Amino acid sequence: MFSWLLCGIIFNTGLCSFNIHCNQQDMHALLNFKQGIIDPSGVISSWSTKLDCCQWKGVMCNNITSRVTGISIRCSTTLPSYRDEEDKSHCLTGSIRLSLLLVELEFLDYLDLRNNDFLALQFDYVHNHNSHNLSILTSPRQCVNSSTLGHLDLSLNWNLAISNLQWLPYISSLEYLNLRDIDLSKETNWLQLVTMLPSLSSLNMRACQLKDLSLSLNYANFTALEVLYLSANEFDSELPKWLFNLSSNIYDLDLSSSSLIGHLPKALLNHRDLEDLVLEDNNFDGPIPDWLGEFEHLKHLILGVNNFSGSIPTNLGNLSSLITLDIASNPLTGVVSERNFAKLSKLKELDIYSYSSLIFDFDSHWIPPFQLEELVIGFSNPNLPAWLYTQRSIERLTIWESSFEAPNKFWNFVSRMTKVQLQGNLIDGNISNVLLNSTIIDLSSNGLKGSLPQLSPNVVFVNLSNNSLSGDVSPLLCDNKMLNGKNSLLFLDISLNNLSGGLTNCWKNWKSLVAIHLGSNNLSGKIPSSMGFLSNLTSLHLHENKLNGEIPPSLQNCRSLLVFNVRNNHLSGNIPDWISHRVMALQLRSNHFSGKIPPQICQMSSLIILDIAHNTISGHIPNCLPNIKTLLFNNVSKNKLSFSFPTSRNAYIYESDNLELVTKGRVSKYDRNLHFMTLIDMSSNNLSGTIPPQMFSLMGLSSLNLSNNNLSGKILNEIGNMKNLESLDFSKNQLGGEIPQSLSSLSFLAYLNISFNNLRGKIPSGTQLQGFTAFSYMGNSDLCGPPLTKMCFQDDKHKDTKLVGEDGNQYEFWPWFYIGIEYGFVTGFLGVCCAVFFNTKLRHAYFKFLNDLRDRLRVLVVVNMNPFR
């Protein structure tokens, strides 16, 4: 008996083990809950009667009572290198039947469905014990006594929208609530409902599209709240009074990225125990308050990206517990010295960059009391602060918009770091003999000179673009003895430099590469066949160089290729018919490509940008273009065409892909918004035939340019289907017929050019087409009507007037009316002439009348001219 009692006491330690049998009521409840779930990858396939429910994946049972106490089914996703969002196609979806769980699972304390892809939350059904049917829950109060739920995490279900939170107060036992990234925009009463949870200690409503902070409310009845995250919402207001009058004491407050305004109120000191205060990326203004130095327990103070002005208060140097100080990207001025950091012995992260003018005035012999792990600075001094070299623990260094010398000592110093970002500076230094050793390296836009540096096997991301580097690419790719055939490089950007020579044939040593940017240099020769070894390559930019020859067939091995950009080179041959079907952007413009457009183009079902302008391509436009599914509908690509690379602490560095495209009559650069663009540009080629009617079914297309070709036929009325068209250019072709009336229904059309064709008739009326200038229509001699100055001979009113005869047939009236007038005039004139010619008296009288009229006119002229002599 004593042994059994002892096992009962220490059961949870695992020293005794017994078979736990699932409670039947709990099992049926879980199976009913499963019915509303779509499980594409079999995550909860173990949920069946063949296995005890306490052994089901994600189900936790009490070791003594065998009742279900917890459900944890988080979806595991990783951020891929060429998307902004994780792939959730394998995650759970469908409906969360929350009320079913709370009523049937009487001892459920923990529910975690984080990072899945649920689409709906139901709180209106309850299981009937007497039958196995579902009956409507008439009042959520039925859940009050049965609910023991203390932990609820539904966060990161991006497609989940909850119209109201009226059910929340009836889960009165909640202590932890995480609704991050759930759409709550329709719930305007969220604050009052959340305050009705008496035990709530942690609330996360980040990025929930909340708009109302209840400014009129003076008090909020939070009795246990300690953690409050309301960041990334749309409040656009000052901080509310209730935030400072809570009956609980918050120690973690995050209100970042929420469009908050005004000065920081001193009432924040009511939360004396604050450890984390995160207010970055708002519109707070005024000086940084010196009373912030009174928070004795503050560990993380993040005020970056606001409008704080003035100098940095020295009182911040009294925050002896501070680990993170971020005041970067504010218009701060004044002097920064060691007095600002007097007692910050625990400081690990310091962000002190200002886009105004901060002057660093540190004692050259000063040794800080801290050892930083991350430093972000920007300054106007010509030299780096001497104390920087005393930081032996620094892992991440960022220097913005500064001017300084970079001797070998500096490059040796940064080589020990994991992440180095030196962007937009003026660095006086030659990096020919520098070894780059960090995992993440961004040295773009610094005016660096010399040849390309060497890379160690540790480098994953390197950006050396927009400098003054020269020489060949071989030292970087082929002559690097340190690599020994091993490297981790994923991203290489050496564009916008003065590099010359060929592309080398050493690419087989860089199989890990995902993105290559070599554009805007002086590179020449052919594209090497060894690039075909880059099976992971998703983005290849070789634009604005002097490359020639054909695209090597070996590139068909690059099956992951999404962006292929070789514009403005001297490449020739046919457009390859083997290019990856996954390609999203294909830019071949301004080369010497010839032949016909291969029909394989239509198999690129993900294509959003097809730019083959300024070549010598002939033949007809393929009629299979509707096979490109992404151009059929107005659905923006989920793939945001940007790279993400992990850094420390689950943080990522993002680098957007970019293209220069001709749209709306001008060249525009698209980077972060590239995935919004849908374009077909086939201009300045030798295309002939008619525009296939299938092209007008591409309703998702925003820019279409077929100008400067030999296209004929009519512009079909089906062009009105292209409702999302913003830019249309059919100029310099041989198109005939009338402009279809449907063209005036394209409400988003901001640019139109149909000049220099053979179009005729009246320009259709409507504000859309009359809003363009005459330049959009010039060169069509038979066009008339506004905005052209040439008026139509017959207006629509007369042209369309018809009479109906007794037999019911319509006939044209006005044309015959004008013909009758003309015949009548001719007949009358001939009759007068005949009468004069054949009647002698009438003829003499007529000529006498003419002589008298002549004499009278002569006298009249002489009399009237005398005064002027």
DSSP letters of 717-756?
GGGGG-TT--EEE--SS--EEPPPGGGGG-TT--EEE--S
Q: 3.80.10.10, 3.40.190.10, 3.20.20.140, 3.30.420.40: which CATH number matches 562-793?
A: 3.80.10.10
Question: What is the pLDDT confidence band of residue 825, given thresholds at 50, 70 and 90?
Answer: low
Strands (E), 358-418: 358-360, 374-377, 396-400, 403-405
Residue 487 Cα to chain centre, angstroms:
31
- Phi and psi torsions of 276, nearest 5°: -125, 120
Domain ranges of the chain: 562-793, 804-857
3-state secondary structure labels for all residues of 212-247: CCCCCCCCCCCCCCCEEECCCCCCCCCCCHHHHCCC
- Which of 11-25, 447-461, 535-549 has the weakest average pLDDT? 11-25
Question: What is the pLDDT confidence band of residue 502, given thresholds at 50, 70 and 90?
Answer: very high
Cβ count within 10 A of residue 779? 14
- Cβ–Cβ < 8 Å for 696, 721: yes
Token pair 């180095």 is at which residue? 420
More confident residue, 7 or 155: 155
Question: For a pLDDT cut of 90, what percent of the chain falls above it?
Answer: 67
Whole-model pTM?
0.82
Q: What is the pLDDT of residue 834?
A: 56
Cis peptide before 693 (omega within 30 of 0): no
Token code pair at residue 2 = 């004593």
State the Cα–Cα distance between residues 53 and 132, nearest whole angstrom: 19
Strands (E), 230-333: 252-254, 261-262, 276-278, 283-287, 300-302, 307-309, 324-326
Cα distances from 758 to residues 278, 304, 731, in angstroms, run 64, 60, 10
Cα distances from 858 to residues 228, 594, 850, 863, 867, in angstroms, run 106, 77, 13, 9, 16
How many CA atoms are closer than 13 Å to the CA of 74, on its beta-carbon side?
10
More confident residue, 848 or 601: 601
- Cβ–Cβ < 8 Å for 687, 619: yes
Question: For a pLDDT cut of 70, what percent of the chain falls above it?
Answer: 83
- Which of 129-133, 452-456, 524-528, 566-570 has the weakest average pLDDT? 129-133
Token code pair at residue 661 = 């495209």
State the Cα–Cα distance between residues 784 and 760, nearest whole angstrom: 8
Q: What is the pLDDT of residue 60?
A: 96
Instruction: Decide if pLDDT at 19 tops 80.
Output: no
* Sign of the Cα pseudo-torsion (141, 147, 148, 153, in order): negative
Question: What is the pLDDT confidence band of residue 79, given thresholds at 50, 70 and 90?
Answer: low
Instruction: Decide if pLDDT at 431 tops 50.
Output: yes
Token pair 């009237």 is at which residue? 864
- Cβ–Cβ < 8 Å for 303, 279: yes
Q: Rounded mean pLDDT of 612-617?
A: 97
Q: What is the pLDDT of residue 829?
A: 56
Question: What is the pLDDT confidence band of residue 145, given thresholds at 50, 70 and 90?
Answer: very low
The mean of the pLDDT values for the chain is 86
Question: What is the pLDDT confidence band of residue 111, given thresholds at 50, 70 and 90?
Answer: very high
Q: Rounded mean pLDDT of 392-410?
A: 91
Token code pair at residue 807 = 């037999």
Question: What is the pLDDT confidence band of residue 197, given thresholds at 50, 70 and 90?
Answer: very high
- Which of 136-145, 284-293, 604-613 has the weakest average pLDDT? 136-145
Give residue-wise pLDDT tens across range 695-746: 999 999 999 999 999 999 999 999 999 999 999 999 999 999 999 999 999 9
- Cβ–Cβ < 8 Å for 632, 680: no
Q: What is the pLDDT of residue 18?
A: 47
Question: Which residues are CB-contacts of 729 (< 8 A; sequence separation ≥ 6)?
Answer: 665, 683, 704, 705, 706, 707, 751, 752, 753, 754
Q: What is the pLDDT of residue 589?
A: 97
- Cβ–Cβ < 8 Å for 523, 495: no
Give residue-wise pLDDT tens across range 232-256: 999 999 999 999 998 888 999 999 9
Q: What is the pLDDT of residue 811?
A: 43
Cβ count within 10 A of residue 854? 9
State the Cα–Cα distance between residues 780 and 759, nearest whole angstrom: 6
Instruction: Decide if pLDDT at 504 tops 60.
Output: yes
- Phi and psi torsions of 550, nearest 5°: -95, 160
